[in-house]
Amino acid sequence: AQDEFIFGMVLVGPFNDRGWSQAHYEGGQYVEQNVPGAKMLYFEKLNPADAPETTLRDVVTNMVDKGAQLIFTASDEFEEDTAEVAKEFPDVIFINVSGDDAYAGTAPANVGNVMGTIEWGKLIAGCAAGLTTETGSIGYLGPLINFETRRLAASAYLGARYCYENYRGLDPDNLKFTVTWIGFWFNIPGVTLDPTEVTNSFFDSGADVVISGIDTTEGIVVAGQRAKQGEKVWSIPYDYVGACEEAPEICLGVPYFHWGPGYAQIVAAAKNGAYQQEWTLLNPDWTDINNPDTSGVGFVKGAGLSEANAASLDDFIAKAAAFAQDEANADTIFLWQGPLKYQDGTEIAAAGEALPYIAPLGEAPSIWYLDQLLEGMTGPSKQE
Amino acid sequence: MNNELLNTLNSIVANATPLVIASLGETITERAGVVNLSLNGSIILAAMVGFVAALVTNSALVGVLAAMFIGMLVALLVAAAAIELRQDQVAVGFVLTLLAADLAQFLGQSYTRIPGPQILNTPLPLLSDIPVVGPVFFRQTILVYISYALVIGLWYWLFRTRPGLAHRAIGERPAAAFARGTQVNRLRYIYTAAGGALVGLAGAAYSLSVKAGWATPPSMDGDGWIALAIVIFGGWHPFRVVLGAYLFSGLRALATVIQRTPGISIPIVLLNGVPWLLMIITLLLVSSGAIERLLRLLPRQVQGWSRNFLRSDPPAALGTRFEPE
Amino acid sequence: MLIEVRHIHKRFGPVHANDDISLTFPHGRIVGILGENGAGKSTLMKILSGYQSFDSGEILIDGQPVDYRGPLAAIAHGVGMLQQDPLDVAAFTVLENFVYGMPGGLRIPRRAARRRLAELTERLGFALDPEMPIAQLSIGQRQQLEIVRLLALGVKALILDEPTTGISAEQKAILFDALRQLAEHDQMTILLVSHKLEDVIALCHEVAVLRAGRLVGCRAMPATTSELVTMMFGQELPPVDRQSADVSAAPNVLTLDRLHLRGKRVTVADLSLQVKAGEVIGLAGLDGSGQELLLRACAGLLKPLHGRVIVGGEDLTGHPYRDFLRRGVAFSAAGRLEEGLIAGLTLTEHIALVTETGTLVDWERARRRTSDQIARYNVRGRPDSPVETLSGGNQQRLLMALMAEQPVLMALEQPTRGLDVDSSRWIWQQLLARRERGAAILFSSSELDELVTYSHRILVFYAGRVYPVDAARTTIDELGRLIGGHLDGA
Amino acid sequence: MKSQTLTAQAALTALPIILSLAITALLVMAVGADPREVFTLVWEGAFRDLRAVGQVVNFWIPLTLCSIGLVVTFTAGLWNIGVEGQMILGAVFASWAALTLDLPAPILVPVEILLAMLGGALWALLVGVLKVRLGVHEIFGGVALNALANVIAIYLISGPWQPPEGGSVRATPPFPAPALLPPLSDTFKVSLLALVIVVVAVVGVWLALRGTRWGLQLKATGKNARSAMLLGVPTGRSALSAFIVCGMLAGIAGSYRVLFTYNSLRPGVSGGIGFLGLLVVLLVANRALWAPLVAFAFAAVLGGSARLKIALQLDASLAGVLQGFLVLTALLSNGLRARLAPPTPISMIEEPAPQPIPAEAAHEQ
Ligand SMILES: Nc1ncnc2c1ncn2[C@@H]1O[C@H](COP(=O)(O)OP(=O)(O)OP(=O)(O)O)[C@@H](O)[C@H]1O
Ligand SMILES: Nc1ncnc2c1ncn2[C@@H]1O[C@H](COP(=O)(O)OP(=O)(O)OP(=O)(O)O)[C@@H](O)[C@H]1O
Ligand SMILES: [Mg+2]
Ligand SMILES: [Mg+2]
């Protein structure tokens, strides 16, 4: 075991949640398979409710005791704690997923960040929904309201609108796109709205496709159940490549994170002592967004997608790829082109103008700091 | 009536069903003078066991039976501790509610979020075609139909049959029951077990139907407490209990609908606290004599009837021990 | 039916409640069972009716030994018992109570049951509405229902444990008529436990007397009260003089001004009363006629709907109980362990609770005080005994010890309930000693002679109406009639 | 005969520990792990070095604070299931001070703790008023207010107290250094101030319950509120004061979670510690001085099980299962003990005999 390299993976949820945490867990397994000698230690459900007695420091201490030299802290929640703990273990490399301290330059030298540009996946998911909906009504199961969740919901909306209009020739203004926020990333009984009930309520109110933006799979489970009872409904889960398995026949596909390749690079570099602190964005590999060895973000089509719609979706993905590969579009995203208006009518991009991916908060509107849902979407934009 | 409303009402009935079943189970138990405070944990454990049993055998029926068995087991533990070992029912129930939930999480860890058998709607012929009523009440799962039968059956049992007299008597005045030849403690075991079996059935109704599957945190966490409150709100009367459960379910649905209603802006997160506020308010209503004051506003003719319906005296011997000489 | 008990023994731990009791109860006779508190009367009756197991001895019915297990078996053998507080279910209706316990199928046979109930009540001169909830019946009506129920079950022997406490003179007359009819006409065996010697004299054909668990005598009636007392206590008790002290010059300690009180079952309207220092006022009436509302209002435990409560010149209307306590009002409720003493706390802790005033408790001092009070009030218990281990009489003594030494006003609910003549007298000595020091006493009682003996004035309560009576001039008979509701005839 | 029953009594005391360990071992084997390895790992996880012990102590502090507060409410005969919510409100109030007040540490920290006490007390008072004045049973009031406290915390975290750049809803921004409790040392990361508070709380409650009139009145209220009221005890006030004291202690516990353990407010920050406290108090049959000992055993088991998760990937709910079984079997064997005991003559009934759970034995789990 001369060659052994132990890395830790700290998960906020269960390793088998078929969502966010499982995607990371499998990313770690990918590293074990692809980086010789790499061995993962993991700790699941590190959150005050599930593990009140344990802090990130405790977990890291235990992992370092067991020989870990690099630790992934796979949640935005761990961003600050990671910075703190990293100072106590200067010889260990920490990668905080979805944080931006390394970008902002506030992180200790041994902390880096990783995130995926899942906006692309959401665009495709929206397109699949727009292609499929028969009632012209789509539900978006939102977690809680912040910049990230607004821009992801809006990405799905833009995709849906585009495909509804361009592939089906229907009036996009007739497309109903409703966002309901449950209040948190996953169901906390008694504290959030129950995603099962929210999904049912979408279908009750006439929506026939529900796109999930939460960490777990309630949306697709409910859709599967209702489809078995004879209703024509579909669903699009989130986060994890295998999420369709819960009800493959009504799954239109899933936008997912594919952490393995990015992680493998980091672990390999660390193993060779060559890791340099950075803020890493994992992008789709536009030659094949589902290439398990190269793409950081992907979209797998589900069995619920009709053949014709699958073809349209492929065409859409090709258009997105062309857009993304065009140097001129480096700092924006497909379909985020003017005219774009906030829900209250404020224009954020004039016709022909592209909304930038990111711009300093408060100075100019950007996708990253999307302050409201877009015009045409139904549902609250703000917490209150 | 439009479709959306009918669908929503249908979902409200469906979502309320586990609450109905659990509260009726607890009503059976409490009418016999025993408090089974373990409901929240029992339901969770039963849901997990029911799901796993159904998954392993690929039979929802086996799942349902397994869940009922578990609910019965936990309830019997409460009864035995209270009757045989003279322990405080509340303490034992409380410990069990925590223990059962942890046990469910531990034993169910490798069964989270996987697809399993489900109990699907079976619309009843003829009945489901009745306008309005049909789509709301008779396009449901068999468990929902069972809950209808339970409500009426329990009411008939308690208030129209001879064994029902004994059932109520052991919860009201065990000494009197004993004097009439009723074997108080034996019946308490039986009714606690029966109530527990229904609590277990409620668990299965969640994991096999209403919130299909198993996950942590369990999506039905907290509903056991609400069921316990519904029993109080329901004044230990089957009809009122069912009304309470539908009311809660309806208000939960409202919280979802409000979000989609333009023009109403309540912080979404705060909206999620509504069921709990409602729980306090309903208990306040039944406890503080507010209902009595409201009743006096009604026309005299219906006052007596409504007072009877709304009266909510707990079984007089609830939570006490009985030891025959 | 002939019932015999032979050599019955029953122990509760160290207490020998029934010590070798042998008795014969022939049919067609009404037998009175007498004895002081704790003599073992109830124990023997419970054994006879299957409510209590016994250690040794045997029971014979018509010469055949029987083996009882539970009250139902006793009823099957024809022996039924009517408990002092009838064993019915308050949440049931009369009909449900009547039916419950009778053999039959799944459904309640409402029509047949209603007919049978009507038949029996009519024969005995009772009046019961089948649909009335038990909670709304008087004790007397509930007794009637129990008797009817037992008869419907076919009992041949009826045991009644203190049936006349808490029922009106009228109901008593109806009850006694019914019992006589059952004894003479139906040849039933009837056993009557009572502390009220006048009832025993009026009804019984013979009496048996128990003392400390043993049978100390039997005799045929008639007998005089003093003969019976001598049998019970081994000596004749000296008569007690009626209260006659003149209090007209004493200052007012309590003024009730047009008080309206609402209870669960009765409402007392427009009650005005002046009570002078040293005055004793008895409150007569059936249980639940409004006496307890008045007592509780005087102690601040019940807020009047309107009207004023003035204690020692100070208007305390609407004030909390503790303000009344502070002004020298002492209250004691009928249920000692429910309202009065705290099961689980020791005597010392009780004393500390009422005597300690600082932030810290001086346990040494509290224990000393407790020992003193134990000696003074003759309580049989140790400072560190939990109060629930005291007997009823001793609990009552402890309550006296906890009461203020120098109260202005004492509001007492049935201060001698369930106590025998001797213990009652002791309690009254203590109360009167406080009266001597200037306390006024308001007390309720179901014992007419107690009311007549100790009161200056008596207030008769009937269904919330209040009728004042001069105690010096009234008689027990008159009082009995008034309690039964003949307020206007007086 | 006498010694025979003594042996039986001793056996019944040990029974819950042995039984719950046995059941847990069976469960561990059922999921395919070796119980011995599990127990070693837990032991190591809790006690292998000062750092690990510090971690246990950090959990013990809020647990003990809640437990000792619950001793007060149980004495008054109240099931303060709302202690979770009271912790959360304590945490929320302390967080408000930490996020908004710009004061030097020596002033800010006491202010935070006082505010936490206020928050906990307010939330407890709400349960208390619902119970004492409005007749809503404290179990239901408590359960509902727990959930509402959670809702409030999540609202604040996801709304008003979000970091300016949006970002996280899993926690507020970290508190500035002056707002935090300083650790004793780098290796033993425990707050001295909190340790002092715990000791003061335990000893204070113990003394107050046995030596003050307030304690006596609480006890009287708990055993029979009606009689106590008639004997002149302000029962309503007694019950409310018990809620308030428990709420204040729970509030401190909550503040410790945010001011030391996490350095920020998070959803579910109470982490079931209040419920665990209820178990502790049931297990020690409400005796104040035993509570910290049993709480320490519980904290050690839980703290140790972090290692369990990393080494064996066992779900940490195992610790909860063990504790649940322990308390359940303790209650049941109490009952068994009472049944087997020779009938005592009525006049000789003593206060229930103490049933100590040896702390050493509990540690070994
Ligand atoms: N269940 C019991 N447990 C213990 N002791 C009992 C029990 N029942 C009765 N005793 C005791 O047995 C003795 C006889 O009691 P019993 O009730 O028969 O007396 P009684 O003659 O009916 O008295 P009273 O006139 O007060 O009703 C008393 O000392 C009483 O304390
Ligand atoms: N169980 C009860 N039944 C009837 N009345 C009660 C009961 N408990 C309290 N009271 C009444 O409520 C009032 C409040 O008494 P309590 O002993 O609760 O004092 P408290 O809480 O200190 O009151 P305050 O805060 O007003 O000083 C008293 O007047 C008392 O008579
Ligand atoms: Mg008696
Ligand atoms: Mg951030």
Contact B7 A203 (CB under 8 A): yes
pLDDT classification of C488: cutoffs 50, 70, 90: low
Using CB atoms, pick whichever of B162, B172, B180 lies closest to residue C104.
B162
Q: A and C: touch, per 3+ CB pairs < 8 A?
A: no
8 A C-beta contact, residue A378 and residue B260: yes
CA C140 to chain centre: 13
| C-alpha–C-alpha distance, residues A241 and A234, integer Å | 17
Nearest CA to ligand 1 atom 29: C38
Widest CA span in chain B = 67
Q: pLDDT digits over A321-370, tens only?
A: 999 999 999 889 999 998 999 999 999 999 989 999 988 877 889 998 89
Task: Work out the percent of chain B whose per-residue pLDDT is above 70.
Answer: 96
CATH of the domain at B132: 1.10.3470
| C-alpha–C-alpha distance, residues B192 and B184, integer Å | 12
* CATH code of the domain occupying D33-331: 1.10.3470
Cβ contacts (< 8 Å) between C72 and chain B: which residues? 179-181
8 A C-beta contact, residue D196 and residue C315: no
Q: pLDDT digits over C311-342, tens only?
A: 988 899 989 898 999 899 999 888 777 888 99
Selected for mutation to probe chain B from C45, C75, C88, C89 (highest B CB count within 10 Å) is C89
Q: Nearest CA to D208 among D197, D198, D219? A: D219
C301 lines ligand 2 (CB under 6 A): yes
Q: What is the pLDDT of residue A67?
A: 93
D237 lines ligand 2 (CB under 6 A): yes
A12 touches chain D (CB under 8 A): yes
The pick from C296, C321, C324, C331 for probing ligand 2's pocket by mutation, whose C-beta has the most ligand atoms within 8 angstroms, reads C321
Q: What is the pLDDT of residue C180?
A: 93
D224 lines ligand 2 (CB under 6 A): no
Q: pLDDT digits over D243-289, tens only?
A: 999 999 999 999 999 999 999 998 889 989 999 999 999 988 888 99
Residue with tokens 């223990």, as numbered in its chain: B99
Minimum mean pLDDT among B226-240, D3-17, D59-73, D223-237: which range? D3-17
Contacts of D144 (CB under 8 A, 6+ apart): B225, B276, B277, B279, B280
| C-alpha–C-alpha distance, residues C330 and C410, integer Å | 5
* Domain that includes residue B53, residue range: 3-309
Going through chain A in order, the beta strands assigned E by DSSP cover 5-10, 38-43, 68-73, 93-97, 111-116, 137-142, 176-181, 209-212, 234-236, 253-257, 279-282, 297-301, 340-341, 347-349, 377-378
Residue of D nearest to A360 (CA): D165
From A146's Cα to the closest Cα of chain B, the distance in A is: 13
- Identify any residues that bridge with C330 across adjacent strands, giving them in sequence order: C410
Q: pLDDT digits over B99-129, tens only?
A: 999 999 989 988 989 999 999 999 999 999 9
Atom of ligand 2 nearest to the CA of D225: 1
| C-alpha–C-alpha distance, residues A39 and A30, integer Å | 10
Token pair belonging to B142: 């068999």
> Could you tell me the domains of chain C?
3-233 (3.40.50.300), 252-328+404-483 (3.40.50.300)
From D128's Cα to the closest Cα of chain C, the distance in A is: 19
Token pair belonging to A181: 């926020």
- Of all helices (H) and strands (E), which one includes residue C466? strand C465-470
| C-alpha–C-alpha distance, residues D231 and C194, integer Å | 33
Q: What is the pLDDT of residue B325?
A: 63
| CA of residue C38 to ligand 3 center, whole Å | 7
| C-alpha–C-alpha distance, residues C166 and C483, integer Å | 10
Count up the domains in chain B and report the number: 1
Does any domain span residue B324?
no
Q: What is the pLDDT of residue D361?
A: 30
Residues 300-359 of A with CB under 8 A from D: none
Q: What is the pLDDT of residue D356?
A: 29
Sheet holding A137-142, edge to edge: A234-236, A209-212, A137-142, A176-181, A377-378
pLDDT classification of C482: cutoffs 50, 70, 90: confident
Residue with tokens 């000595």, as numbered in its chain: C429
| C-alpha–C-alpha distance, residues B111 and C252, integer Å | 80
Residue of D nearest to C384 (CA): D350
Contacts of D280 (CB under 8 A, 6+ apart): D63, D67, D70, D291, D294, D295, D298
Q: What is the pLDDT of residue A325?
A: 93
| CA of residue A78 to ligand 4 center, whole Å | 9
| C-alpha–C-alpha distance, residues C3 and D31, integer Å | 67
Ligand nearest to the CA of C210: 1
Q: Is pLDDT above 60 for A1?
A: no
| CA of residue B274 to ligand 4 center, whole Å | 30
| C-alpha–C-alpha distance, residues D281 and A350, integer Å | 65
**How many contacts, defined by CB atoms under 8 Å, are there between B and C?**
63
Q: What is the pLDDT of residue D359?
A: 28
Q: What is the pLDDT of residue A2?
A: 60
Which amino acid, residue C81? M
Residues 206-225 of D with CB under 8 A from C: 211-217, 219-220, 223-224
Selected for mutation to probe chain D from A16, A46, A47, A53 (highest D CB count within 10 Å) is A53
The pick from C42, C48, C336 for probing ligand 1's pocket by mutation, whose C-beta has the most ligand atoms within 8 angstroms, reads C42
Residue C257's Cβ-count burial label (10 Å; 0-12, 13-18, 19+) is middle
pLDDT classification of C267: cutoffs 50, 70, 90: confident
Q: pLDDT digits over C183-241, tens only?
A: 999 999 999 998 778 888 889 999 999 988 899 888 888 888 888 888 877 766 666 66
| C-alpha–C-alpha distance, residues D299 and D285, integer Å | 19
Atom of ligand 1 nearest to the CA of C419: 26
Residue of B nearest to A14 (CA): B216
Does any domain span residue B38?
yes
Cβ contacts (< 8 Å) between B88 and chain C: which residues? none
D193 touches chain A (CB under 8 A): no
Chains contacting D (3+ CB pairs below 8 angstroms): A, B, C
Q: Is pLDDT above 80 for D44?
A: yes
Q: Nearest CA to C164 among C32, C334, C290? A: C32
| C-alpha–C-alpha distance, residues B43 and C236, integer Å | 69
- Identify any residues that bridge with C306 across adjacent strands, giving them in sequence order: C260
The string over B231-248, giving b where at least 16 C-beta atoms fall within 10 Å of a residue's C-beta and e elsewhere, is bbbbbbbbebbbbbbbbb
Tell me how far CA of residue A384 lies from CA of A181, C83, D147, D244, in angstroms.
Answer: 12, 65, 20, 32
More confident of the two residues D145 and D133 = D145
Q: What is the pLDDT of residue D358?
A: 29
Q: What is the pLDDT of residue A384?
A: 60
Ligand nearest to the CA of C214: 1
| CA of residue D222 to ligand 2 center, whole Å | 15
The pick from C322, C323, C329, C338 for probing ligand 2's pocket by mutation, whose C-beta has the most ligand atoms within 8 angstroms, reads C322
Backbone angles phi, psi at C135, to 5 degrees: -60, -20
Token pair belonging to C39: 């003599």
Residue A284 three-state SS? coil
- ipTM of this complex prediction, to 2 decimal places: 0.88
Q: What is the pLDDT of residue D143?
A: 93
| C-alpha–C-alpha distance, residues A97 and A106, integer Å | 15
Q: pLDDT digits over C66-80, tens only?
A: 987 788 889 999 999
Residue with tokens 């929902």, as numbered in its chain: B144
Q: What is the pLDDT of residue C489?
A: 47
Q: pLDDT digits over A68-103, tens only?
A: 999 999 988 788 889 889 999 999 999 999 877 777
| C-alpha–C-alpha distance, residues A360 and A64, integer Å | 38
More confident of the two residues B64 and D27 = B64
Q: pLDDT digits over C107-142, tens only?
A: 999 999 999 999 999 988 888 999 999 988 888 889
Does any domain span residue B318?
no
Question: Where exactly are the structural domains of chain D?
Answer: 33-331
